[in-house]
Amino acid sequence: MMMTGAPVQRAQVENLYVEAMVLADEAHAAFAAQRNLGDLRSGAGAQIGLACESLKTTTRLMHVIAWLLHRRAMFAGDPGAGPNDSAARIGDPVAADWDVCAGFDVSVRRIISASERLFERIAAIEAGWDVPEAVTPVQALLAQLEARL
C-alpha cells in the first residue's frame, strides 16, 4: 500500500530523520563525557540519575527514529509498513526528571530538552497527518453537483 503523502511530508520526514540522528550522536557523546566527569566529582546517586536520564533520552530518540523510518517505508510503498502498525504511532512520551537533570552540564540538559521537543514535534505532526483534510468550498459544490446528476 503506497502512501500518497505530499512531497512536503516526505521532505519533512527526511529532514527530521537527519535531525534525530545528529541529536542521537550528540546525546551519546554528551552522556559519555558527563559519565566520565561524574566519576571524578559525583556520588553513586548522581551516576544512577545520569544513567536513568541517558536511557530515557535514548528511548525517546529511538522512538522518534523508529517512527521516521516507518514513515519512510510507508512513503516507499513497503507492503510491511502500514498505517495501523504499532510503529506508525509515536506513543506516549518518556518525560525527563528535571529535578535530576538540574545537576547535569548545560550541554546535556540542552540535548535532553531537544529530544523532548523533537518527540513533541513528531507527536504533533502525527496528530495533524491523521486529521482528515477539510473539504474545500469548491469540493463541496462539486459534490452537490455530482449528487444532483
For residue 97, which phi and psi values (nearest 5 degrees)?
-95, 100
pLDDT of residue 149: 80
pLDDT of residue 44: 84
pLDDT of residue 1: 41
d(CA 41, CA 134): 57
1 in a domain, yes or no?
Answer: no
Name residues whose C-beta falls within 8 Å of residue 142's C-beta, 6 or more positions apart in sequence.
none
pLDDT of residue 132: 63
Which CATH number is 88's domain given? Answer: 1.10.8.930
2 in a domain, yes or no?
Answer: no
Domain span at residue 134 reads: 7-148
Average pLDDT, the chain: 87
11 in a domain, yes or no?
Answer: yes
Q: How confident is the model at residue 97 (pLDDT cuts 50, 70, 90)?
A: very high
CA atoms within 13 A on the CB side of 37: 11
pLDDT in tens, 6-62: 666 899 999 999 999 999 999 999 999 888 765 546 688 888 999 999 999 999 999
Q: Where are the alpha helices (DSSP H) in the chain?
A: 7-41, 44-75, 98-101, 106-130, 137-148
85 in a domain, yes or no?
Answer: yes
116 in a domain, yes or no?
Answer: yes
110 in a domain, yes or no?
Answer: yes
DSSP E strand boundaries for 25-137: none
Domain count, the chain: 1
pLDDT at 2 over 50: no
